[in-house]
Amino acid sequence: MLKRIGKALAREGMRTAVLFLLVTLAMFVLLNMAPGDPVALYVNVQSLSPQEVEAVRHELGLDRSLPVRYGSWLGRMVQGDLGTSLRSGRPVTVELWRTGWRTLLLAGSAMALTLLFAAVTAYLAAMGRHPVWASVLTAFGYVLSGLPVFWLGYLAIYLATTRFHVLPLMMGEGAASSGWAFFFVPVVVLGLGNGTVSEVTRHLRTHLQGVLREDYIRTARAKGARLWRHLYKDGFVMPLSSLLANKIPYVLGGAIVVEQVFNWPGMGRLTWQAASDRDYPTLLGVTLLAALIVRAAHIVKEAVQVAVNPQLAD
Amino acid sequence: MRFLELTADPTAWQRLRSWPLHRTVATVYGTGMAALVVSVYLASVFRVLPQDPDAMDLGAVNALPSAAHLLGTDFVGRDLLARIMVGTAAFFLPGLLSVSASLLFGALFGVLVGFWPERFGTAVGLLLQLLESLPKLVLILLVVALFRPDIYLILLVVGVTNIPAAAELLRARIAALRRKSYIEAAVALGLPPSRIILKHVLWLHGRGLVLIQATIGMGEAILIETSLSYLGFGVQEPTPSWGNMVALGKDYFFRGELWISTVPALAILLTVLGFHLLGDALLERLEAAGA
């Protein structure tokens, strides 16, 4: 089985490598389509003579042809050099390390919460034993998916600061260490408010209903066996792993908004700041890291699914 | 299925009555909400508004609903109802642009891969996976930083990022249809591919899916537009968007004046809920009919 997983991972890794090339190419093309002379970002073009501007252009390597520039850009990127942030002057990789793990923590926990909520709701709805609870949770999921996540964040902050007193009134980078609530509240807001809850629930429910109609489930029921033992692989592990891979981009996007609402010093706030300052080296780094996270989720999904059903390796 | 016993084709009303109750409620609510959004948008275009959305009533600042201001006012006394109405313009046409872009290219790629999986499968599949690997908001912010923050451009990018979802739905549908005998018959009769694709596949069997994608896409366009306007990259003050209206009420919200932010948030909720419910009800209907 390990061999099959390895085979699937190798295939997925190849695909990731090709996609990485395409993503960087797309970003490079976007970068070159952007209006404005890149030289103007480094020097004051007006105060220099045309010869001096040309000299700077040559020094920066901007007078070379596009494929050559893409090659050298990609070469530096592979070595981990994503350039320097125009805003802070620090290397982009350092900025990403500083903020990335926080966002990964936030988005990962939020994703887990979304899937947990959806799994419980879908299970109740598909089994049909607690119709009232299932309806209430399904309706709740629809409302959560329509609510803008920033308003949900305001409500959570308002309740946590003035009603329950679990959060300090002033939040900022310094408050990041002030206890569980600072972590817990944003995770709940992002997990429930990222706008995918109703869709994930619906998908899981339809899938579960299909699995419950299978012959082997009927046999298990007839034997009086524990249903869960027969249900969890095809009913939960398979769809949940695909949903994890498919929905992680939405959660990462939602993290930008939630981090902004909560002043959470992560990659989302870095992205917001970089977009405000038009700090494009940072934005390119963020895009690349986000794409790598999404591909990592796909690789995890592939490994899990092949472990459950080795036939998928071929 | 009561109508199956009738000899004549069931009327639309009979079909509606044979549905489960929750699906009827969802369809009626969603259709009503979509119609409301269209009429409110048209009203705001023709300036049929209860108040001037930019007029400041300094005698009634942060007011709760009253006879003069049906939904209250914001922090400089502007009428919230009028601003909510004008706020539909922030997403209406851009949203349609986004939906059209995703459907047009989604249909194109879906048809290419669905009909000729050997020839186009790998290349188009990679292209679609590329689009799926980039988180929407991150890509949008990159485009905003490199070009200019224009809501049409932003929602065009949203439309492009929605192409994979639309293409995958149509591809699956077409792959199933291709094995049907009437498509084979159409091919054997020598009908041109364009006619088979446009009439027999897309129009006769794909329009339901297209409608569902349009509905879901519109709901998403509203969420993205409001999120970006909230972050300050979309529609800018003083032009109202439901997103920047929520952001404007922030300071008052934390002081306990919940109303100003909550009105536009509720507008977002009710509208997006309508589109989600309608899309899901249509999808459920399609699945029930296909099963």
CA angle B235, B241, B242 (to 5 degrees): 140
Q: Environment class of residue A120 by beta-carbon count within 10 Å: exposed (0-12), middle (13-18) or buried (19+)? A: middle
Decide if B139 contacts B157 (C-beta within 8 A): yes
Partner residue opposite B135 with nearest CB, options A143, A150, A253:
A253
Across the interface, whether the CB atoms of B138 and A286 are under 8 A apart is answered: yes
- Please, what is the average pLDDT of chain A? 83
A267 inside 8 A of chain B by CB? no
Lowest mean pLDDT among A71-75, A83-87, B222-226: A83-87
User: Dihedrals φ, ψ of A167, to 5°?
Assistant: -120, 145
Is the pLDDT reported for residue A57 higher than 90? no
Contact yes or no for A148 and B129 at CB 8 A: no
Residues in chain B: 291
> Mean pLDDT by 10-residue block, N- to C-terminus, for chain B (291 residues)?
56 74 86 92 87 78 77 82 89 91 89 82 82 82 80 88 85 79 80 79 79 88 90 85 89 84 92 91 78 46
Between A164 and B279, name the one with better pLDDT: B279
Cα nearest neighbour of A289 on chain B: B134
In the 3-class helix/strand/coil scheme, how is chain B assigned residue by residue?
Answer: CHHHHCCCCCCHHHHHHCCCHHHHHHHHHHHHHHHHHHHHHHHHHCCCCCCCCCCCCCCCCCCCCCCCCCCCECCCCCEHHHHHHHHHHHHHHHHHHHHHHHHHHHHHHHHHHHHCHHHHHHHHHHHHHHHHHCCHHHHHHHHHHHCCCCHHHHHHHHHHHCHHHHHHHHHHHHHHHHCCHHHHHHHHCCCCHHHHHHHHHHHHHHHHHHHHHHHHHHHHHHHHHHHHHHHCCCCCCCCCCHHHHHHHCHHHHHCCCCHHHHHHHHHHHHHHHHHHHHHHHHHHHHHHHHC
Percent with pLDDT over 70 in chain A: 90
Q: A53, A43 in Cβ contact below 8 A?
A: yes
Q: Decide: B95 and B221 in contact? Cβ < 8 Å.
A: yes
Kindly indicate the confidence band of residue A169, based on its pLDDT and cuts at 50, 70 and 90: low
Average pLDDT over residues A162-179: 59
pLDDT higher than threshold 80 for residue A137: yes
What pLDDT does residue B4 have?
52
Scan for tokens 């900025």, then name that residue.
A95
Residue A135 has φ and ψ, to the nearest 5°, of -65, -45
Residue A266 to residue B55: CA distance in whole angstroms? 39
Checking if the pLDDT of A101 tops 60, the result is yes
CB-defined contacts A:B, below 8 A: 150
- Rg of the Cα atoms in chain A: 24
Instruction: Name the one residue in this structure whose structure tokens are 């259709």.
Output: B31
DSSP assignment letter at A89: -
Which H or E element spans position A40? none
ipTM for this prediction: 0.83
At B33 the pLDDT is 92
Smallest Cα–Cα separation from A254: which of B136, B268, B121?
B136
B273: Cβ contacts below 8 Å, ≥ 6 apart: A142, A143, A145, A146, B33
Residue A143 sits at the chain B interface (C-beta within 8 Å)? yes
Of the candidates B4, B117, B141, the residue with the CA atom closest to the CA atom of residue A272: B141
Hey, is A64 helix, strand or coil? coil
- Indicate whether A187 pLDDT > 60: yes
Residues A134, A219: contact at Cβ < 8 Å?
no
Nearest CB partner across the interface for A143, out of B250, B262, B273: B273
Shortest CA distance from B279: residue in chain A: A199
Place of tokens 């079909």: B15
Measured between alpha carbons, how far is A239 from A123 in angstroms, rounded to an integer? 13
Contact flag A257-B132 (C-beta cutoff 8 Å): no
- Binned at pLDDT 50, 70 and 90, residue A39 comes out as low
**CB distance B213 to B103 below 8 Å:** yes
Q: Is A260 on the interface with B (CB under 8 A)?
A: yes
How distant is the Cα of B159 from the closest Cα of chain A, in angstroms? 15
pTM, whole model, 2 decimals? 0.84
> In percent, how much of chain A has pLDDT > 90?
11
**What pLDDT, on the 0 to 100 scale, is given for residue B12?**
72
Give the model's pLDDT for residue B291. Answer: 46
CB–CB contact B223 A147 (8 Å): no
The crossing angle, in degrees rounded to 10, of helices B151-161 and B204-231 is 130
Residues of B in contact with A279 (CB under 8 A): 145
